[in-house]
Amino acid sequence: MPNSSRRPRQEYIAQHIPGAKFLDLDEVSSAHELGLKHMMPTGRVFADACEQFGIEKETHVIIYDTHGVFSSPRALFMFRTFGHQRSSVLDGGLPAWLAGGLPVESGEPSPMIVTKYPTPKLQAEALRSYEQIVANSTSRTSNQTDLVLDARSHGRYSGRDPEPRSGLSSGHIPNSLSLPFNLFLHQEMGADGTTYTTFLPPEEIRKVLEEAVGMERTDLIIRGSIPVTTSCGSGMTAGILWLGLKLLGVERISLYDEGML
């Protein structure tokens, strides 16, 4: 993520769930002309990564991160958008695993047996492009317009706080609504005193959504009458809103991959 000094691969080598492999979303991605990170990969890039991880079409893939809930929903979005339905997020991630007193291991992963993974077709309706978002922001036909939910902080949404990436203006996409991703999450305390996040129960996520968009629109979203697109600065925390809404049973939902350009 922008301005982060963390070294994820080194953290993985230091400790990880036994048998887990390291997934770098910046490596399993597509190049972008503006240099944007962790853009959705092509089907072949995704399939190649699966093969190197020893994943087959029927493999149940469980994804976790070290914040509790942060980047894992975005990785899940990638698997589901390429049709790999047997995929899940470990709620609470590595911190919850450690809090449960479960074992970890360190070091580089053992070599995997390379598998064959057929090139999947991207579910195009799950993604929105820059051009689609621009058209959506100026549309006057409400029943054909996505409701865009912005996962960034209120300060970045309003323009009060700067964007973490230099050269980008803060503010928001016209007609989008603010729904900071952390509102879908609960802070937990680990055994070592550090905090991590887990998803709120669905009934509490619904209350958060009602506060952001209203009860009537919430009902319409859940029934599928209003399509939703989640957005953020780079497409990462938009995945948290995406998964939170999926936990409510929302089906007409997409993600804006290019974030705030």
Comparing CA positions, the residue from 73, 19, 26 lying closest to residue 49 is 26
Please write down the long-range contacts of 39-47, taking CB distance under 8 Å and 24 or more positions apart.
39/235, 39/257, 39/258, 40/78, 40/81, 40/122, 40/127, 40/257, 41/78, 42/122, 43/82, 43/119, 43/120, 43/121, 43/122, 44/119, 46/78, 46/82, 46/120, 47/117, 47/118, 47/119, 47/120
232 labelled catalytic = yes
Catalytic residue among 17, 76, 127, 232: 232
Q: Give me the active site residues, please.
A: 232
